C-alpha cells in the first residue's frame, strides 16, 4: 500500500510517546500513512508550525488551542483538539535551598499530599515564591494556580515565569526561580543535576488533568477527513500499546534515542513506570498512573476538560466565563473522536461532558457497547467543577 | 510618533550579536540593544520598551517572549519578530504573522520591513556558518573514530592500515551502514570487552 507522508510536530518530552511509538512501531504504516515527526525548539514555534501549515498535526499543551479560541496570545488560527494524547505527567519541584528548609521543618516529602506540600512550602518559603513553567498557556500554570489558590500558599506572593524546560535546572541553580512545574524528563534532570528535589506529581493536584492534545487546523480536519481518521487511529493504537506495562522498557529505549529525547532511557523509565528518584540523596517514591496514555478513555477529548481550562483562563484574563466555556467546548472534538474511532470498535462514552472532579472512585458509565470504567477523577481540594456556561 | 526604531536582539553568541548590530545600524536610525543572558528575559526586554524584538526562531527562549504578549496592553507590546529558519517557508509565515499579530498602532509595516530584511539575511548567514561548523566538527570526530577502529583491527588481526580500512568499508557496505557507524560500534564493543 502506498503511504501518505504526514508532517507532525512535537516537543521532545516523555508524553510525546504516542507519536514516537506510532512511528517506531509502524502503527502509522498500518494505517497507510507515514508520520514525518519534526521536533520543535519552543512551544510558540510548535504552535506556529501548526497554525501556518508547516505541519498538519501537533503534540500541543492542552490549554494552547483553548487560549487561541478565546483570542489570547498572538495567533488566532482555529484549532481542533481531536484527541487527548496524555493525562498528567508533570512534576513540581523545588530548589535545594527550599528543600533543605522543608526538611528542617520536618516535612516528609511523601510526593502525594498536595495540601500538606502547600502548607509545608508556605512555612519554608520567603514572602515571594517564583515558579518556572514551560509556557504561559499550559496545564502547568493551571495546576499551579489551582493549587496555590486552594492552600496556605495563597498568602504568599507567587510569581510564575516562563523558562524553557532545558534551562529549568540552570534557572533553579542560579536562583532565578525557587521552584518549577515541568513535564518529564525535565524534573528528573534537575534532580540528577543536583539542583532540585521533587515535591509533587501533577496528578496530586488533579488526578485526571488533560495534559497534551493531538491538535490539527479546523480547515485541515474538514478537507482531509481520511487522513485525520488514519492519524487518530494510528495514535490510538500507539496509546494502547503503551498501556501494556511490558511495553514500557522498549518505549523508554525508543524515546531515549538521539533523534528524539536524547537522554538516558533510565530517566524516561522513571516517568513511564512511576518510580521516581526525588532528591540528590536517592530517595525513591512510586506514583501509580503518573502519566496515562490510554486506560479509562484517557484519550477521549471531553468538552468539560476544555471548559475547565477556559474557566480558569477567563477568570484570570477578565473574560466572561460562560462565553469562554462555550467557545472552548467546540475546540475539544468529541464528535470527531467518535466518528473516526468507531471503525476500530473503540469504546466511547455516551456523554461528551463529565463532572470534572466528581469521581472519588473508578466508576462504570454508559458507552457505545455497554459500559466503560472511568478512573478516579478528583481535585486535591475535593471541589467539583461546575461549568458556568 | 517615534523618530527612530528601538530594536532588541536576543542572541547569546557575542560575535553573532555584534554582526547583527552592525548590519542594523547601517540600515539607518536604529537603536539596538543586545540581550545575551536570557534569565528574566521578559523583564529585560520591558526595560528597553523596544519597537522590535529579534530572536532566532530556533531559540527555545522564544517562549519567554510569549509572556509579553499576554502581560502587556496592546500599546506597550513590542513587535516580536522571529526570524531565520532552516524550515523554509515557516520563517516567512511567522514573520508575516508576527507583523499582523504584534504590530502596535502607529508603527508602519513599511518602516519595519527594511530592518527585518537585514536581520533575516544576517540571521540566515550566521545559521549557515553554524551548520558548517557543526559539519566540520562531526567530520573530525568521525575521522578520529575511524582511526581508532583501524588501529584495533590492525592490532587484533595483524592487518596493514589499508587492509583494516578495506575491512571496515566492506562491513559497512554489507550492512548498509556508514563506515563511521561501524567504526563506532567496534570501538564501543572493544571498550566493553577490554
Among A163, A161, A162, A101, which residue's Cα sits nearest to residue A126? A101
In terms of average pLDDT, the best of A179-188, A344-353, B64-73 is A179-188
**Cβ of B139 under 8 Å from any chain A Cβ?**
no
Q: Do A42 and B42 touch (CB under 8 A)?
A: no
CA distance A307 to A81: 13
Domain that holds residue B151: 135-193
Residue B48 sits in the same domain as residue B64:
yes
Q: Do A41 and B102 touch (CB under 8 A)?
A: no
Domain stop point among B115, B132, B149: B132
pLDDT of residue B191: 85
pLDDT > 70? residue B81 = no
Greater pLDDT, A236 or B21: A236
Q: Do B93 and A43 touch (CB under 8 A)?
A: no
Greater pLDDT, B113 or A375: A375
Residue B126 sits in the same domain as residue B97:
yes
pLDDT of residue B46: 78
Among B40, B101, B124, which residue's Cα sits nearest to residue A52? B101
CA distance A87 to A308: 14
Among A252, A248, A126, which residue's Cα sits nearest to residue A188? A252
The residue in chain A having the minimum alpha-carbon distance to the alpha carbon of residue B69 is: A73
Q: Using a CB-CB distance cutoff of 8 angstroms, which residues of chain A are in contact with residue B62? A: 41-42, 44-45
Helix (H) or strand (E) holding A287: none
pLDDT > 50? residue A71 = yes
Q: Using a CB-CB distance cutoff of 8 angstroms, which residues of chain A are in contact with residue B73? A: none
pLDDT > 70 fraction of chain A, expressed in percent and rounded: 99
pLDDT of residue B99: 43
Lowest mean pLDDT among A7-21, A370-384, B41-55, B153-167: B41-55
For cell 470527531, the residue is A336
CA distance A200 to A93: 7
Torsions phi, psi of A250, nearest 5? -65, -45
Greater pLDDT, B109 or A243: A243
pLDDT > 90? residue A130 = yes
pLDDT of residue B105: 38
Q: Do B70 and A73 touch (CB under 8 A)?
A: yes
pLDDT of residue B103: 39
pLDDT > 70? residue B107 = no
Residue of B66, B68, B81, B88 best to disrupt the A interface, most CBs of A under 10 A: B66
Give first-to-last CA distance, chain A, whole Å.
47
Residue B69 sits in the same domain as residue B146:
no
| Predicted confidence (pLDDT) per residue in A356-367, tens digit | 999 999 988 888
Q: Using a CB-CB distance cutoff of 8 angstroms, which residues of chain B are in contact with residue A51? A: 97
Helix (H) or strand (E) holding A368: none
Residue B155 sits in the same domain as residue B105:
no
The residue in chain A having the minimum alpha-carbon distance to the alpha carbon of residue B88 is: A54
Residue B19 sits in the same domain as residue B111:
yes
Q: Using a CB-CB distance cutoff of 8 angstroms, which residues of chain A are in contact with residue B60? A: 41-42, 164, 166-167
Q: Using a CB-CB distance cutoff of 8 angstroms, which residues of chain B are in contact with residue A71? A: none
Residues of A in CB contact (< 8 Å) with B are: 38, 41-45, 48-49, 51-54, 72-76, 134-137, 161-164, 166-167, 171, 174, 176
pLDDT > 90? residue A122 = yes
pLDDT of residue A157: 95
Q: Does domain A90-208 have CATH number 3.40.190.10?
A: yes
pLDDT of residue B102: 41
pLDDT > 70 fraction of chain B, expressed in percent and rounded: 66
The number of domains in chain B is: 2
Chain B from 47 to 66: CB within 8 A of any A CB? 57-66
pLDDT of residue B112: 58
Residue B70 sits in the same domain as residue B161:
no
Torsions phi, psi of A2, nearest 5? -75, 135
Q: What is the ipTM for the molecules in this complex?
A: 0.79
pLDDT of residue B39: 79
**Cβ of B86 under 8 Å from any chain A Cβ?**
no
Q: Using a CB-CB distance cutoff of 8 angstroms, which residues of chain B are in contact with residue A54? A: 87, 89-90, 93
CA distance A218 to A50: 11
Torsions phi, psi of B167, nearest 5? -65, -45
Residue range(s) of every CATH 3.40.190.10 domain in chain A = 4-87+209-259+293-348, 90-208
Lowest mean pLDDT among A44-53, A71-80, A241-250, A295-304: A71-80
Q: Do B97 and A74 touch (CB under 8 A)?
A: yes
Average pLDDT over residues A267-278: 94
Q: Do A45 and B57 touch (CB under 8 A)?
A: yes
If 0-12 CB within 10 Å is exposed, 13-18 middle and 19+ buried, where does residue A246 land? exposed
How is domain A4-87+209-259+293-348 classified at the CATH fold level? D-Maltodextrin-Binding Protein; domain 2 (3.40.190)
CA distance A51 to A43: 12
Domain stop point among B132, B158, B181: B132
Q: Do A41 and B57 touch (CB under 8 A)?
A: yes
- pLDDT tier at B98 (50, 70, 90 boundaries)? very low
- A74 vs chain B: nearest CA distance in angstroms? 5
Greater pLDDT, B117 or A303: A303
Q: Taking all residues of chain B, what is their mean pLDDT, rounded to a whole number?
A: 75
3-class DSSP assignment, residue A137 = coil
Q: Using a CB-CB distance cutoff of 8 angstroms, which residues of chain B are in contact with residue A75? A: 97, 101
Residue of A45, A55, A167, A183 best to disrupt the B interface, most CBs of B under 10 A: A45
Torsions phi, psi of A6, nearest 5? -120, 110
| Predicted confidence (pLDDT) per residue in A175-209, tens digit | 999 999 999 999 999 999 999 999 999 999 999 99
Greater pLDDT, A40 or A215: A215
CATH of the domain at B13: 3.40.50.2300
Q: How many helices (H) and strands (E) does chain A have?
A: 16, 15
- pLDDT tier at A91 (50, 70, 90 boundaries)? very high
Classify strands A90-95 and A179-183 as parallel, antiparallel or unpaired. Answer: antiparallel
Average pLDDT over residues B46-75: 71
Among B50, B42, B116, B51, which residue's Cα sits nearest to residue B84? B116
pLDDT > 70? residue A13 = yes
Torsions phi, psi of A68, nearest 5? -65, -40
pLDDT > 90? residue B7 = no
CATH of the domain at B169: 1.10.10.10
Average pLDDT over residues A82-105: 96
- pLDDT tier at A14 (50, 70, 90 boundaries)? very high
Classify strands B52-56 and B5-10 as parallel, antiparallel or unpaired. Answer: parallel
Rg over alpha carbons for chain A, rounded to the nearest Å, is 20
Residue B40 sits in the same domain as residue B123:
yes
Q: Using a CB-CB distance cutoff of 8 angstroms, which residues of chain B are in contact with residue A176? A: 39-40
Average pLDDT over residues B53-78: 67
Q: Do B42 and A51 touch (CB under 8 A)?
A: no
- pLDDT tier at A368 (50, 70, 90 boundaries)? confident
pLDDT > 60? residue B89 = no
Domain stop point among B132, B150, B165: B132
In terms of average pLDDT, the best of B2-6, B107-111, B163-167 is B163-167
Phi-psi category of residue A296: left, alpha or beta, with phi > 0 → left and psi -120 to 50 → alpha: left
pLDDT > 50? residue A32 = yes
pLDDT of residue A247: 94
CA distance A40 to A9: 6
Residue B29 sits in the same domain as residue B107:
yes
pLDDT > 70? residue A377 = yes
Q: Do A161 and B38 touch (CB under 8 A)?
A: no
The residue in chain A having the minimum alpha-carbon distance to the alpha carbon of residue B103 is: A74
Q: Do B69 and A52 touch (CB under 8 A)?
A: no
pLDDT > 80? residue A281 = yes
| Predicted confidence (pLDDT) per residue in A320-335, tens digit | 999 999 999 999 999 9
Amino acid at each position: 500500500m502506498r503511504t501518505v507522508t504526514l508532517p507532525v510536530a512535537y516537543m521532545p518530552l516523555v508524553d510525546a510517546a504516542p507519536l514516537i511509538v506510532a512511528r517506531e512501531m509502524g502503527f502509522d504504516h498500518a494505517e497507510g500513512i507515514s508520520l514525518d515527526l519534526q521536533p520543535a525548539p519552543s512551544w510558540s514555534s510548535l504552535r506556529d508550525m501548526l497554525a501556518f501549515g508547516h505541519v498538519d498535526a501537533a503534540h500541543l499543551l492542552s490549554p494552547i488551542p483553548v487560549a487561541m479560541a478565546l483570542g489570547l496570545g498572538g495567533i488566532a488560527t482555529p484549532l481542533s483538539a481531536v484527541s487527548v494524547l496524555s493525562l498528567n505527567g508533570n512534576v513540581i519541584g523545588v530548589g535545594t535551598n527550599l528543600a533543605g528548609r522543608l526538611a528542617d521543618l520536618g516535612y516528609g516529602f511523601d510526593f502525594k499530599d498536595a495540601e500538606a506540600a502547600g502548607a509545608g512550602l508556605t512555612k519554608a518559603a520567603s514572602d515571594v515564591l517564583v515558579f518556572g513553567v514551560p509556557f504561559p498557556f499550559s496545564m502547568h500554570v493551571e495546576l499551579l494556580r489551582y493549587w496555590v489558590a486552594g492552600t496556605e500558599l495563597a498568602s504568599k506572593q507567587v510569581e510564575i515565569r516562563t523558562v524553557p524546560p532545558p534551562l529549568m535546572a540552570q534557572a533553579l541553580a542560579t536562583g532565578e526561580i525557587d521552584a518549577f512545574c515541568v513535564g518529564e524528563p525535565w524534573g528528573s534532570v534537575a534532580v540528577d543535576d543536583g539542583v532540585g528535589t521533587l515535591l509533587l506529581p501533577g496528578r496530586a493536584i488533579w488526578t485526571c488533568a488533560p495534559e497534551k492534545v493531538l491538535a490539527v487546523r479546523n480547515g485541515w480536519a474538514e478537507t482531509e477527513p481520511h487522513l485525520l481518521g488514519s492519524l487518530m487511529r494510528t495514535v490510538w493504537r500507539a496509546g494502547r500499546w503503551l498501556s501494556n506495562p511490558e511495553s514500557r522498557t522498549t518505549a523508554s529505549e525508543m524515546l531515549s534515542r538521539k533523534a528524539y529525547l536524547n537522554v538516558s532511557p533510565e530517566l524516561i523509565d522513571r516517568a513511564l513506570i512511576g518510580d521516581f528518584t526525588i532528591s540528590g540523596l536517592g530517595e525513591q517514591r512510586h506514583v501509580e498512573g503518573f502519566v496515562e496514555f490510554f486506560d479509562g478513555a484517557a484519550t477521549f477529548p471531553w468538552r468539560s476538560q476544555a471548559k475547565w481550562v477556559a474557566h480558569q483562563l477567563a477568570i484570570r484574563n477578565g473574560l466572561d466565563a460562560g462565553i469562554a466555556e462555550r467557545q472552548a467546548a467546540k475546540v475539544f472534538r468529541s464528535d470527531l473522536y467518535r466518528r473516526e474511532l468507531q471503525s476500530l470498535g473503540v469504546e466511547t462514552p455516551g456523554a461528551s461532558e463529565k463532572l470534572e472532579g466528581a469521581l472519588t472512585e473508578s466508576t462504570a458509565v454508559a458507552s457505545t457497547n455497554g459500559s466503560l470504567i472511568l478512573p478516579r477523577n478528583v481535585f486535591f481540594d475535593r471541589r467539583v467543577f461546575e461549568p458556568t456556561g | 510618533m517615534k523618530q527612530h526604531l528601538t530594536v532588541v536582539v536576543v542572541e547569546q553568541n557575542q560575535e553573532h550579536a555584534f554582526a547583527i548590530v552592525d548590519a542594523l545600524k547601517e540600515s539607518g536610525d536604529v537603536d539596538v540593544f543586545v540581550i545575551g543572558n536570557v534569565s528574566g528575559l521578559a523583564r529585560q526586554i520591558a526595560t528597553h520598551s523596544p519597537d522590535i524584538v529579534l530572536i532566532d526562531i530556533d531559540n527555545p527562549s522564544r517562549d519567554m517572549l510569549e509572556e509579553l504578549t499576554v502581560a502587556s496592553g496592546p500599546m506597550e507590546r513590542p513587535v516580536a519578530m522571529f526570524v531565520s529558519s532552516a524550515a523554509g517557508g515557516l520563517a516567512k509565515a511567522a514573520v508575516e504573522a508576527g507583523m499582523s499579530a504584534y504590530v502596535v498602532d502607529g508603527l508602519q509595516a513599511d518602516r519595519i520591513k527594511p530592518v527585518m530584511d537585514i536581520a533575516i539575511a544576517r540571521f540566515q548567514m550566521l545559521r549557515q556558518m553554524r551548520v558548517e561548523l557543526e559539519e566540520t566538527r562531526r567530520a573530525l570526530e568521525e575521522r578520529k573514530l575511524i582511526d581508532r577502529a583501524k588501529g584495533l583491527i590492525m592490532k587484533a588481526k595483524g592487518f596493514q592500515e589499508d587492509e583494516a580500512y578495506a575491512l571496515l568499508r566492506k562491513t559497512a557496505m554489507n550492512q548498509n551502514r556508514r563506515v563511521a557507524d561501524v567504526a563506532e560500534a567496534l570501538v564501543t564493543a572493544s571498550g566493553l570487552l577490554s
